Amino acid sequence: MTKKWWQGSVVYQVYPRSYQDSNGDGIGDLPGLTQRLPYIKKLGADVIWLNPIYKSPDKDNGYDISDYRSIQPAYGTMDDFDTMLESAHKQGLKILMDLVVNHTSDKHEWFEQSRQSKDNPYSDYYIWRDPVDGHAPNNWGSYFSGPAWTYEPKRGQYYLHLFAPGQPDLNWENPKVRQEVYSLMKFWLDKGVKGFRMDVINLISKPAGLPDAPQAPGAPYGNVEPLVSDGPRLNEFLHEMNQEVLSKYDIMTVGEMPGSTPEDAIEYTGLKSNELNMVFQFEHVGLAANPDKKLGKWNDQPIQLVDLKKALSRWQVELDGKGWNSLYWNNHDQPRAVSRFATDDPKYRVKAAKMLGTTLHMMQGTPYVYEGEELGETNVHYQKLDQYEDIESINAYHQLVEKDQAVDGTTMLKYMENMSRDNARTPMQWDDSNNAGFTTGKPWFALNPNYTEINAKSQVDDPDSVFNYYRQLIDLRHNSDLITLGTYEEIDPDDNEVFAYRRHYQGQTLLVISNFTDQTVQRDYGQANSKRLIGNYEDSQNDTLRPYETNVYLLND
């Protein structure tokens, strides 16, 4: 197997709004990112995935785009973008853009036209349906609470929006829509960006007839995901996109795919499929959802290690040699990794963050590091509703607590503290000065007060920091085909305390052992007296694993 550049790469994700403000308006921007590129280079990442930076009314922090070919003014100008891109290239960094084409903003010109009448050039760019008995055409609920349909009196019809009403779904059945998408993709690729992260790309092909979705007892709407994910024409659309655009450039693509299975992912990323390079699967971030189905992801229960192991190992084993994995613990939609999968107790936080990094970065696939993860940043632990900013969290509170009375307010706030997307969106913690060096003005979103303890400045030159540990993990991968390409062998799937696995490649074996508990435990996998490549304690004590201890060994077969 010849290694593709994106198989040997590590991606660093930047949420531009919260990365670095350069002009004191409290909002992160492109010149701010340009200033910080050397930091990302120092970490050792190869590629930067930028969350949306296009013109947008910001109903969903940029995931509602009103012009795909211009920059959101708060982030700067097209010149600022070009400067950033040039500077990135000079430093050997590639830029990956966020492609959001399941939906646009309702303020996009296409939609402004489309909603006027049933017979204008854009009338069929979106998914319009007549009312049924004076109601919405089916029971679909939006990902952001409420119905997935909104009535437009001018057309006397409803339009579909799987997310907010300000995010109408594009009609991919219309070949003109697909050509528009291919054309905007070429616009960015011709500038020199090196690929796309494709937002909810497995939702673009809707099932024929738009039938009702399964509805949990007591839930006001049907749950669309099982119905709209991996729809009937998805492979065809992705294949067409590949033929018309992707195959003409040397780029990487990762499709965000809630609800996809390994079998689906093999279809999209398979060596012969000519569709995408890899997908973001949701299995491990969907664990510990509420058993009361109408509460969905909102819960405060810890994840069982055996479930986490099962989820990650399944993708490792099933995609080996057939597709390619992306590896991630968190992103802008998920709580902070260390709080969620280990502990943010100050006593163990540093050890735990290193342990998680090791467990993920020694797997097969392309690793993604979300801004601040490399510092061991934690959840923000808000206690009040008015501290939240994210549309998903706020809408869910109003729907579940006030409208449905499915849960009481205090409990819901606990669930949000645990699961809200806002945990990931507080500004980057650069130093211990006012507002963590993120802005000289008033930040658009409050900082996590622990920035005085957890920040980049204190870590970059400290050899024992989480930052420098991540740097070593990335460096190890860059220099090892065993880590990049080796096959995966799970050890003791029923062990709920230790996550251990082996990797095999050309007569060499890598052994990875991570203690996910705050207790000392004993495990013997034959590691005694083996060569240790990396670990989060000064030395290895062989079979004795201290709290959150992790070690990686190289064994010769």
Selection from ligand TEU, Ca ion, none that 25 binds (CB < 5 to 8 A by kind) is Ca ion
Region near Ca ion per CB under 5 A, out of 14-22, 84-92, 344-352, 521-529 = 14-22
* φ, ψ at 78 (rounded to 5°): -65, -35
Q: Determine which residue in the list 65, 200, 201, 241 makes contact with ligand TEU, applying CB under 6 A.
A: 200
Q: Cβ(52)–Cβ(17) under 8 Å?
A: no
Is residue 27 part of the contact set for Ca ion (CB under 5 A)?
Answer: yes
| H-run or E-run covering 515 | strand 508-515
Neighbouring-strand partners of residue 197 = 98, 254
Q: Residue 476 and residue 466: Cα distance in Å, rounded? A: 15
Separation between Cα atoms, residue 494 and residue 153, nearest integer Å: 57
Binding ligand TEU (rule: CB under 6 A), the pick from 26, 255, 258, 535 is 258
- For residues 389 and 425, is the Cβ–Cβ distance under 8 A? yes
Interaction residues for ligand TEU, span 55-84 (CB under 6 A): 60, 63
Q: In sequence order, what E strands does 403-468 have? A: none
Q: How far is the CB of 428 from Ca ion (least distance, A)?
A: 13
| Residue 146 interacts with ligand TEU (CB under 6 A): yes or no | no
Question: Cα-Cα-Cα-Cα dihedral of 546, 552, 556, 557, to 10°?
Answer: 80
Minimum CB distance to ligand TEU smaller for 253 or for 468: 253
Tell me how far apart the alpha carbons of residues 326 and 315 are, in angstroms, rounded to a whole number. Answer: 10
Rounded Cα–Cα distance for residues 148 and 170 (Å): 13
CB of residue 473 vs ligand TEU: minimum separation in angstroms? 25
For Ca ion, which is the closer residue by CB, 27 or 47?
A: 27
Interface pattern 349-388 for ligand TEU (x via CB under 6 A): ----------------------------------------
Q: What is the DSSP code (8-state) at residue 120?
A: S
| Count of residues near ligand TEU by CB under 6 A | 14
Is 25 a binding residue for Ca ion by CB under 5 A? The answer is yes
Q: How many residues contact Ca ion, by CB under 5 A?
A: 5
Nearer Cβ to Ca ion, position 73 or 153? 73
How does strand 366-370 pair with strand 11-14?
parallel
Beta bridge mates, 129? 158
Query: Which of 106, 180, 199, 377 is the binder for ligand TEU (CB under 6 A)?
Result: 199
228 touches ligand TEU by CB under 6 A: no
Give residue 277's Cα distance to chain centre.
Answer: 16
Closest alpha carbon to 387 in 360, 361, 420, 355 = 420
User: Closest distance between ligand TEU and the C-beta of residue 98, in Å?
Assistant: 8
Task: Check binding of 29 to Ca ion (CB under 5 A).
Answer: yes
Q: Give the pair of three-digit tokens for residue 151.
A: 């009535």
Q: Which residues are catalytic?
A: 199, 256
Q: Binds 180, which of Ca ion, ligand TEU, none (CB < 5 to 8 A, cut-off by type)? A: none
Sheet of 94-99, strands arranged across: 278-280, 252-256, 195-198, 94-99, 47-50, 11-14, 366-370, 326-327
Nearest 5°: the CA angle 6, 338, 285 is 65
Using CB under 6 A as the binding rule, whether residue 421 contacts ligand TEU is answered as: yes
Point out which span in 26-34, 303-311, 336-344, 442-450 binds Ca ion (CB under 5 A).
26-34
Contact flags string 162-181 toward ligand TEU, x per CB under 6 A: -x------------------
DSSP annotation of 74: G
φ/ψ of residue 124, rounded to 5: -105, 20
Residues of this chain, 244-283, that bind Ca ion according to CB under 5 A: none
Q: Which residue has the tokens 């251990």?
A: 500
Closest CB to ligand TEU among residues 60, 377: 60
**Among 293, 297, 310, 322, which residue interacts with ligand TEU (rule: CB under 6 A)?**
297
Closer residue to ligand TEU (CB): 266 or 419: 419
60 binds, among Ca ion, ligand TEU, none (CB under 5 to 8 A by kind): ligand TEU
What SS3 state is found at 307?
Answer: helix
Pick the closer one to ligand TEU by CB: 227 or 500: 227
The residues that touch Ca ion, with contacts defined as CB under 5 A, are: 21, 23, 25, 27, 29
The residues that touch ligand TEU, with contacts defined as CB under 6 A, are: 60, 63, 100, 143, 163, 199-200, 256, 258, 297, 332-333, 392, 421
